[in-house]
Structure 1
């Protein structure tokens, strides 16, 4: 059937309209392409010419400023300082780096040994990875390299930030330090952040710096630069700064930490101060210490060897890594286990003739002639060993171990520090699993006085003391705020120990300090509003033979240092309204009452007073010695210069 003329006219008009529409679309596409080409060829010609010219636009990452670390009072304890360095990229040097290094050695000192190290590193690393040739250059050296840059292919002088620790050794163990990223560091990370590949990047190696790395690192920035055919940077096209890491405020009091470090002096020792209500650690100090700035800058072999060979182990953090037999500071644990088990009460008495016999062996009290008849309170104030030997046989090691764990011993506390030790609160199952042996009665007697298999760190002893003082399950914490946001203080649950039994332990600790026959009376605080409760401890590091006992036990001061007893002391104050708990361990220091107690008392007084301990807080015959000791100290003051945010 043929179309009518009218239908043919209509079809023609529709085809015409469609043709016009198609032509219009084609015209629009052509116009858009023309405009885009004009934009590329005219308006952005220079940019695209550079892009096409041998891939001459490069994106370089910018190292973010590391977050600052403050103490609880806002004092900077880990900051950043300006650092001038020079790097070399093998690819940009044309693959031959030794001639460039030789030319650079005319401007800055590069020893033959350093030259060999650098050549080896270039051989191992990717050709596109910049290698730091030297850092912490003087302005004169940095300027000289910049002026001669055209003759040093692949060399880039750079200005950046480097970590600095204003308090040096005071906080070395808790803060740790940063350092360049090593191959070993990268091997531990499954998908490393590209910023870790930058030669000037510093990574937290140990301690708080390492554990808080994700908060402190920040986010990298970037800049677009034009380079010529030789790879030399010609100009910067754009720059986007990175995001600085978070500012972290610790619970540490830098002034108290400084005092504790100086009070311990050259002893191989550790001190921990905890807030009894919040769990805040105000001081966690290991002595002797080291300067972490040396590790940031690259410690020399002689300096490192001296630290490694030192018999007081300055690199070890004795506060959390060191575990020691707690000695008589453990007696509160045994006493509370006996009270809770119902095998004794506060008035229960045992007779101490100076020893007890069990399993065919004689176990001696520290006092050769014995203490006579003692009850629960005087067993602590006199530190009678026989009382605890007898008690251990009645209560059993499993109950003692359970009480130790309730008080924070034998468990790893979650702190952002390196290698926090778990310690040992041994029981029957532990010995069978660890040594494949059955528990013996002698093991219980040794454990009851904090010897044998029992091990605790100074941190754990401070937690134990805080829990006894507060009656709550206090847990330690080191982070107070992140970027100004306060971290919540946990609502610590009530300790699962009868409050009446805790009062017996506190009374015994009070009499240790304040009764006429207390073992630490000389280290008491005489101000009643700061009345202190405490417990001495002395732990043996050698066996005393029967023959030695028969002829007389050799005193500590007549023994080589490494064979002397450890001195320990734990305390809290004020007695009626506890605020702070303190533990002190002095390795091979001798007696806890003579060595550790005075140190702990003075540190506790500094915390209570908020500054130097007032002389009227100690017994009158000790005031001249305290004043002389304080005059010899070089104490940190809050007026010291502070580093500002980068």
Structure 2
């Protein structure tokens, strides 16, 4: 069928439109390609030339500056120092053994350094920079830089390394950093990429570990150009990382330094605490160690020496050490008896020096007995028989309830390592752990802080602070983060009759301020500083009948590790308390002779803000104390290096 002219015209018009559209699309595509080619060949020519030239552009992470840690007065206790180091990139270095051999001729590398470097280089990806050696002198770095053409893949760098200017004073609380280990990486579900940098430092214990995510900061990055032999030619751009947060602790560096020096020579722990807001002013564990040794990776002999020390310098005894609290627990039993209405303040109990319970004789520490005592005199003279009697009336359940109310048996949420909860033993606990029912004798033992009862020095300080303030105050270690105050929880009341707390405080005051008190020799004579307290002696081993027959008669005859622990808790001033203190001297013997004098010195140092004033000591003791203080000042200066801020 022949098509009409009209149909032919319509068909031609449609084809023309389609051709125009298709031509326009082709022109747009061609124009875009031309524009993009111009961009790549003219404006981005240098960039693509570099990228195409054997992939000579490397992107490397920049470790962030670790956040600083200060004491309550702003004194630096954990900072960063400039660190000259040498890094190697395996894919640029070629034969790593030959490269290490060339480097060894320029800087001091031990066989151990070489072996570690080879291990790190082979363990990590070939493009990852590995630190070969750090903490070099400028002269050594300059030698490497001058020989750079002969050292492909080897680059000197300036970085930051952790430092602890006050050395051992804060070692247990603040902790230390060390190189990232495989175990560290395995413990993290999604590890930060910066942790993949060989020998990157992270917190290992203490505050450094607990606040690791905040202190670490965020990594930056830099693009560098390297030539065909791996030598760094220039830095193309850099994005700086974000430094970690700065933390301020509640601890006072002067008091901490004094406490460490005062505990010197002992295996001991001491805690000083503000009774109103819970601020921990000092947490000293002795002996201590230098955390700077761990920053680079401590040597095997140094580490083994710390492990073999019988005084356990690596353990933080303030929160990890659990000890029978001994007679420092008697305030718990006293308040439990008052709460249960099983006694009155004036009731007197006769102490003949022992008490027979279920066929077992329980002795008082004074073999001849104390005669008739009431609650205040029983606390002051530390009469065991009085509390044996109260325990049988009250029972273990109510004693445990009061113990927890005063802060014992609780694991406090502090940014420290291995904080222990202590032990308030219950009937159920003994049945489950010992497979035996609870006995009356167990309650009698618990009433004087023996048997199964265990407490940490921190818990004993909290207990004392609660008795001093009448509130359920909680311990606080972090004061501020990046200058923002960390608000502490408002302490609630203890829900105890204030007259009962006053009665216990009076007994504690008499411990230190009456001649029959067990801490009379450690009294403070200045009214503004006068102290209340309680001594304690917890038995570790008893002298057996066979040993007595062989001539052993006293604790001094026993090996050191079998002697009793010495304890003291106290608060001051006794009228309007401000601070609480606890002291534990492992195997120190008697609390009145070994722990109470330390407690007195810590109280005076905390309240006076410096070396305890001689006028606060009884006159006959002042010559001895003056000599002791001269020795303490020498110890304090030795533990703090020149240049460390002791403002």
TM range (shorter): over 0.9
The 3 A distance-change label for structure 1 pair 615 and 18 is farther
Map 1:260-339 to 2 at 5 A: 260-339=259-338
Residue 24 of structure 1: CA displacement?
Answer: 5.3
- Give 3-state SS (helix, strand or coil) of 1:259's partner: helix
Shift in alpha-carbon separation, 1:376–1:11, aligned structure 2, 3 A: farther
The secondary structure found in structure 2 opposite 1:156 is strand
Aligned residue for 1:84, secondary structure, equals strand
Aligned-residue offset at 1:498: 2.6
After superposition, residues 425-464 of structure 1 pair within 5 angstroms as: 425-464=424-463
Question: Hey, what's the Cα distance between the residues in 2 that align with 1:433 and 1:64?
Answer: 50
- The aligned runs of 1:361-376 (5 Å cut-off) are 361-376=360-375
The superposition leaves residues 290-330 of structure 1 with CA deviations (integer Å, 9 ceiling, x where unpaired) of: 00001113322222222111111111111000111111000
Q: Equivalents in 1 of 2:550, 2:468: separation in Å?
A: 42
Segment drifting more, 554-563 vs 462-471: 554-563
SS in 2 for 1:64: coil
CA contact (8 A) 2:167 2:640 kept: no
Q: How far apart are 1:381 and its partner, in Å? A: 0.1
Distance in 1 of aligned mates of 2:552 and 2:363? 12
Moved more, 207-216 or 197-206: 197-206
Contact 1:334 1:392 in 2 (8 A): yes
Q: Secondary structure at the match of 1:231?
A: coil
- Written as runs of structure 1 = structure 2, the 5 A alignment for 1:338-377 is 338-377=337-376
Give the structure 2 partner of residue 153 of structure 1: 152
Shift of 1:14: 9.3
Conserved 8 A contact 1:322-1:457: yes
1:544 Cα deviation from its structure 2 partner: 3.4
What are the within-5 Å matches in structure 2 for residues 63-142 of structure 1?
63-94=63-94, 96-142=95-141
8 Å CA contact 2:446, 2:453 repeated in 1: yes
Query: Greater CA deviation, 299-308 or 6-15?
Result: 6-15
3-state SS of the aligned residue for 1:538?
Answer: strand
Unaligned runs of 5+ in 2: none
Contact 2:178 2:202 in 1 (8 A): yes
Q: Cα offset for 1:266?
A: 1.1
Shift, 1:526, TM fit:
1.4
CA distance in 2 between counterparts of 1:393 and 1:19 reads 109
Length, aligned pairs only: 642
Deviations 1:136-157 (A, max 9, x none): 1111111111222222232222
Give the CA deviation at 1:92.
Answer: 2.3
Counterpart residue number, 2:40 = 40
* Inter-CA distance 514–8: structure 2 relative to 1 (3 Å threshold): farther
User: How far does the alpha carbon of each residue in 1:83-105 deviate from its partner, in whole angstroms, 9 at most, with x for none?
Assistant: 111122322223x3111111111
Contact 2:166 2:644 in 1 (8 A): no
Listed as ranges, the matches of 1:135-534 within 5 Å are 135-534=134-533
* SS of alignment partner, residue 278 of structure 1: coil
1:227 shift after superposition:
2.1
Match of 2:479, SS state, is: strand
The residue matched to 2:203 in structure 1 has which SS?
A: strand
Q: What is the CA distance between 1:179 and its match in structure 2?
A: 0.5
Cα distance change on mapping 1:251 and 1:454 into 2, 3 Å: same
Q: 1:297 to 1:638 in 2, by over 3 A?
A: closer
Partners of 1:12 and 1:609 lie apart in 2 by: 107
- The answer to whether the 8 Å contact 2:113/2:133 transfers is no
**Residue matched to 2:50:** 50
Task: Show CA shifts across 1:230-255 (max 9, x none).
Answer: 43322110011111100100001011
Q: Does the Cα contact within 8 Å between 1:356 and 1:364 map onto a contact in 2? A: yes
Secondary structure at 1:462's aligned position in 2?
A: helix
Q: CA deviation at 1:358?
A: 0.8
Deviation at 1:124, TM superposition (A): 3.8
**Once structures 1 and 2 are overlaid, which stretch shifts more, 629-638 or 617-626?**
629-638
**What displacement does 1:625 show?**
2.1
Q: Is 1:255–1:638's contact at 8 Å kept on the other side of the alignment?
A: no
- The offset of 1:31, in angstroms, is 3.1
Q: Once the two structures are superposed, what CA deviation does each residue of 1:170-223 show, in whole Å capped at 9, x if it has no partner?
A: 010001100000111111111111100112421000111000101100000000
- Counterpart mapping for 1:566-577 below 5 A: 566-577=565-576
Question: For residues 124 and 639 of structure 1, what CA distance do their matches in structure 2 show?
Answer: 38
Mean Cα displacement is larger for which, 33-42 or 168-177? 33-42
SS in 2 for 1:497: coil
The whole-number CA distance in structure 2 between the counterparts of 1:495 and 1:23 is: 89
CA separation in 1, counterparts of 2:166 and 2:269? 18
8 Å Cα contact 2:537-2:566 kept in structure 1 = yes
* Matches of 2:404 and 2:371, distance apart in 1: 31
Deviations 1:493-537 (A, max 9, x none): 111333222111111101111122111012112121222110000
Which residue number corresponds to residue 627 of structure 2? 628
- How far apart are the structure 2 equivalents of 1:443 and 1:547? 25
Q: Which runs of 5+ in 1 are unaligned?
A: none
Closer/same/farther in 2, CA of residues 372 and 14 from structure 1, 3 Å limit: same
Secondary structure at the counterpart of residue 85 of structure 1: strand
Please say if 1:61 is aligned against 2:61: yes
Aligned residue in 2 for 1:607: 606
Deviations 1:60-86 (A, max 9, x none): 000000000000000000000011111
Moved more, 568-577 or 172-181: 568-577
Distance 1:151 1:334 in 2: 77
The TM-score, its normalising length taken from structure 2, stands at 0.94
CA contact (8 A) 1:215 1:246 kept: yes
Q: Distance in 2 between matches of 1:155 and 1:227?
A: 11
Q: Does the residue aligned with 1:430 lie in a helix, a strand or coil?
A: helix
Conserved 8 A contact 1:401-1:426: yes
Distance in 2 of aligned mates of 1:344 and 1:12: 118
> Structure 2 CA distance, aligned partners of 1:132 and 1:167?
27
Query: 1:414 and 1:8, CA in 2 relative to 1: closer, same or farther beyond 3 A?
Result: same
Distance 1:78 1:113, change over 3 A: closer
TM-score (norm 1): 0.94
Measured in 1, the distance between the counterparts of 2:364 and 2:456 equals 24
CA contact (8 A) 2:552 2:558 kept: no
**In 1, Cα distance between the equivalents of 2:136 and 2:57?**
29
Change (3 A) 1:193 1:551: closer
